[in-house]
Structure 1
């Protein structure tokens, strides 16, 4: 069965393609493939759109029919285009999570994930956990709250950061994304609005949509959060929930000041809107200044805090947690059984061992991240001098402002140079951020230098070859 969708004329497609050819004859077909994939990735050619015939394309594009045939063959091979005799060709997608066409190529340098490899201390913690496993094997192994030992150590960590916490306020989950899904299930129903930052964390935005909620973006300022903007959005949208990353925000790397935390918490309390705070990156301060108190210290019981070991220790542990009031914890536990029955015991024991002396491992992670950040900043200044950015005080990525709105094009072309990137629009609710690009610094220094060197080549190659500024992304397909 053919997918539904309108037909785009050859003239319209030619206008969308713009100046796609870089002038090298032997690369003409590859350039056309890249340009077509960019239109699909950027939503200008939606899945289901019927394409002009090869004959019509030959009439409107300054290339031979042989070139067009070769390009369409490549697009079909990659699953971007599907054809059927007598029915023509249409866009079949799919667009991958990284913003380009889905690929499975382990040879690419991955700059799509801001997640580091495990620290050496994780292996030692696994040995400690294995020694502790026998005493747990005689039990049924289910615990919807999490192991008491781990909950105690997570609570102790909050207390050490200036937020007194008891184990009864902690629920252990299978990562922060799982924790966010549980909270959404509790608070958000179909059609409910959720205030989010723009730009924001793509997986968090997708989780809101998956819960049938409606993400409502509040644009961030160049130096942080717009309290007045949040207050206006609260009045106009009447959201059920708000979601923020105040500590080294993903993707901008910005850190919310204590004054802004207090002001924003007061605005949300006045509107009686619960706040969910993602602290996945909170422990990764790379400067010597003391971090602000956790957001819950300002918002009290109206704040639900999400945490994770993914960035600080290792994503493969898949351990996260929720810190909330006793009343919210009780409600969460009553709904959790419909999703899962608890978090794996072994991984909990591993994290409990890591948190026995938390500063040792965190110090090593911070030193590693600080060194890699400095390598990335130096390489970006050398190979992408036309871009601008603020050196982040923490977190795991640099949020770059490009010299033109070509983020998606860079992400697509970068595949040909062995790089996997997430384009700026993936961090936006309804598109935008096309002049932004996140560059994580989680690879080794050698790989970072090589990757950013390639990125500089890609950036130079797309200058002046973007799509026509007259292209109307919101117009219906003709």
Structure 2
């Protein structure tokens, strides 16, 4: 295969990506050079050289850089790499074994103690179910289901299906060739060189995320994501027995410094990010941070899922190209769909990745559900051909809706605090006091369903935020915020 047909200039094996502590551990084998480099200036300090070496390795174990089952270098190899005697390493290993940190077995060397593939029980699936649990007869402020733009309505009404494609006896699990080419052309126009072989059409963006997670994540694996994120990521990883580790966020989104530390320490198999109009916070990662994120993916060889479902809903017109455009050698998997900017009911999504991974996922897709509905793909052809216009119209609609929501908030919830997003479909609001979960229960008695921090937390997080979509029609949004204001006053009075 020529490099013209690859997502990356340098081919990437997404299935065996490691962090780079890459130089430190490969396939469970700890390199002597990598370990010596990671230990740094361990010879300085109190105690014998052996005790200092033992403490340095123990710190890497407790910090997560060395994991259960990893095999440490042979004594002679580490002694040579560290410029100490073999006896120093033998004594350090003995000290680690005495403290239960390593296991020493004849013929198999010295390994970090514990199970090589621990089963994860911390991450449980089902977090996202809360977003689909609006009470009967209640106003739904749980989901971000946008209004269909007038242009999309017209395109759907005028749609004339191509029967030569609709009546094919077989369909490619990767999608109709004509649709894959159109999506590739859309990316090329936006600044990301793409070929049809890099596109896999799916039943919405969530299926794309699930396919990637199923392929790359196994029991005990670590996935990095923003500390509040779309629950479709955390639930998918949990179902595979993996663990999502949340990375702190600031006013501009993901803390890339903290991400790099976590990559080196935790050796993730995957990073999942939503960098432009992040759901739920609405943050937008700056250009420099985007480039550094792509650079980290290339440097450490860790695949990155970039969720761009709401990237194009931009109130100021700023929509950067994909992370894949930042570093062609980075293993970036771009996920998108027509749901948020054209028609939520049309479950047509896709991913863009290295063709090697696309072929692998194509096989998994065939086992799951054969292929995406052909009539749906044909309608998507018409919508994607007008993607730029539809995104602009959808952005205009929801910018006006956001202004209405801000007016309603100032009237009914004046003490709630938020940073107005520059795009997307929801507002991430901080409660002055109290618990978002407790408030949600009170809100339910007032006939309005809301989702708090727990639905979006990658792990444990403060229970102090509410996500408020501004996608409902004006009259519904107005009534919903009025009810929420009444619920807040009742709840506040009980805890004041």
State the TM-score bracket (shorter-chain normalisation): 0.7 to 0.9
The gaps in structure 1 that reach 5 residues or longer are 1-94, 468-478
Match of residue 298, structure 1, among 326, 343, 359: 326
Deviations 1:266-287 (A, max 9, x none): 2232222111111101110111
* 8 Å contact from structure 1 (residues 121, 354) kept in 2: no
For 1:287 and 1:326, how far apart are their aligned partners in 2? 34
Deviations 1:383-410 (A, max 9, x none): 1111111110000001001101321111
For 1:341 and 1:117, how far apart are their aligned partners in 2? 30
Shift of 1:306: 0.4
* 8 Å contact from structure 2 (residues 244, 459) kept in 1: no
Aligned ranges for residues 298-377 of structure 1 at < 5 Å? 298-300=326-328, 301-377=330-406
In structure 2, do the counterparts of structure 1 residues 101 and 446 end up closer, same or farther at CA, with 3 Å as the change threshold?
A: closer
Aligned ranges for residues 43-82 of structure 1 at < 5 Å? none
* 8 Å contact from structure 1 (residues 111, 440) kept in 2: yes
For 2:157 and 2:401, how far apart are their aligned partners in 1? 28
Aligned ranges for residues 33-52 of structure 1 at < 5 Å? none
Shift of 1:215: 0.9
Give the aligned partner of residue 138 of structure 1.
167
* 8 Å contact from structure 1 (residues 257, 292) kept in 2: no
Shift of 1:108: 1.2
For 1:103 and 1:225, how far apart are their aligned partners in 2? 30
Give the aligned partner of residue 140 of structure 2.
110
Match of residue 449, structure 2, among 420, 435, 450: 420
For 1:120 and 1:440, how far apart are their aligned partners in 2? 20
1:190 paired to 2:241: no
* 8 Å contact from structure 1 (residues 145, 333) kept in 2: yes
SS of residue matched to 2:186: helix
Deviations 1:339-382 (A, max 9, x none): 12110011111111112222222222111111001111111122
1:439 paired to 2:468: yes
For 1:135 and 1:419, how far apart are their aligned partners in 2? 47
SS of residue matched to 2:335: strand
For 2:278 and 2:371, how far apart are their aligned partners in 1? 29
For 1:376 and 1:447, how far apart are their aligned partners in 2? 11
In structure 2, do the counterparts of structure 1 residues 433 and 250 end up closer, same or farther at CA, with 3 Å as the change threshold?
A: farther
* 8 Å contact from structure 1 (residues 186, 332) kept in 2: yes
In structure 2, do the counterparts of structure 1 residues 334 and 124 end up closer, same or farther at CA, with 3 Å as the change threshold?
A: same
Shift of 1:98: 5.8
Match of residue 176, structure 2, among 134, 147, 154: 147
In structure 2, do the counterparts of structure 1 residues 277 and 137 end up closer, same or farther at CA, with 3 Å as the change threshold?
A: closer
For 1:319 and 1:368, how far apart are their aligned partners in 2? 22
* 8 Å contact from structure 1 (residues 248, 395) kept in 2: yes
In structure 2, do the counterparts of structure 1 residues 137 and 176 end up closer, same or farther at CA, with 3 Å as the change threshold?
A: closer
1:125 paired to 2:155: yes
* 8 Å contact from structure 2 (residues 128, 232) kept in 1: no
Deviations 1:156-207 (A, max 9, x none): 2212211121222111000010001111121111221110111111122111
1:247 paired to 2:276: yes
SS of residue matched to 1:421: strand
Shift of 1:102: 5.3
In structure 2, do the counterparts of structure 1 residues 361 and 333 end up closer, same or farther at CA, with 3 Å as the change threshold?
A: same
Give the aligned partner of residue 427 of structure 2.
398
Shift of 1:142: 2.3
Shift of 1:104: 4.8
Q: Quote the RMSD (CA, aligned, Å).
A: 2.1
SS of residue matched to 1:190: coil
Shift of 1:462: 1.0
For 1:348 and 1:435, how far apart are their aligned partners in 2? 41
SS of residue matched to 2:467: strand
Match of residue 216, structure 1, among 232, 245, 266: 245
For 1:382 and 1:287, how far apart are their aligned partners in 2? 26
The gaps in structure 2 that reach 5 residues or longer are 1-125
* 8 Å contact from structure 1 (residues 171, 321) kept in 2: yes
In structure 2, do the counterparts of structure 1 residues 297 and 100 end up closer, same or farther at CA, with 3 Å as the change threshold?
A: closer
Give the aligned partner of residue 271 of structure 1.
300
SS of residue matched to 1:433: coil
Deviations 1:129-151 (A, max 9, x none): 4x324223431242211112221
* 8 Å contact from structure 1 (residues 98, 112) kept in 2: no
In structure 2, do the counterparts of structure 1 residues 328 and 147 end up closer, same or farther at CA, with 3 Å as the change threshold?
A: same
1:204 paired to 2:233: yes
For 1:132 and 1:124, how far apart are their aligned partners in 2? 15
In structure 2, do the counterparts of structure 1 residues 341 and 128 end up closer, same or farther at CA, with 3 Å as the change threshold?
A: farther
* 8 Å contact from structure 1 (residues 100, 412) kept in 2: no
In structure 2, do the counterparts of structure 1 residues 421 and 325 end up closer, same or farther at CA, with 3 Å as the change threshold?
A: same
Deviations 1:391-431 (A, max 9, x none): 10000001001101321111111111111111111111333
